[in-house]
Amino acid sequence: MLRRTTLKLALTGAVLLTAGSPRLILAAVETGSHGSLRVWSVAKGGYVMTDKIIKTAEEWRQQLTPEQYHVTREQGTERAFSGIYANHHGDGVYRCVCCGQDLFDSHAKYDSGTGWPSYTEPVAAENIATAEDRSFFSVRTEVLCSRCDAHLGHVFPDGPKPTGLRYCMNSAALSFVDRDRL
In a domain, 177, yes or no: yes
Is residue 133 domain-resident? yes
Instruction: Look at the chain and report how many structural domains it folds into.
Output: 1
Residue 75 within any structural domain of the chain: yes
The predicted-structure confidence for 33-92, as pLDDT tens digits, reads as follows 358 999 999 999 999 999 999 999 999 999 999 999 999 999 999 999 999 999 999 999
21 within a domain of the structure (yes/no): no
Categorize the per-residue pLDDT at 137 as very low, low, confident or very high, splitting at 50, 70 and 90. Answer: confident
Q: Is the residue at 9 inside a domain?
A: no
First to last CA, the chain: 35
Note every long-range contact of 12-18, with CB atoms under 8 Å and residues 24 or more positions apart, other chains counting: 14/129, 16/129, 16/131, 16/149
Q: What is the pLDDT of residue 181?
A: 96
* From 96, 98, 145, 168, active-site residue: 168
Structural domain harbouring 106: 55-181
Look over the chain and give the mean of its residue pLDDT values, rounded to a whole number.
Answer: 85
**CATH code at position 93:** 2.170.150.20
Residue 152 lies in a domain: yes
Confirm whether 168 is a catalytic residue: yes
| pTM reported for the whole predicted model | 0.81
Per the domain annotation, does 38 fall within a domain? no
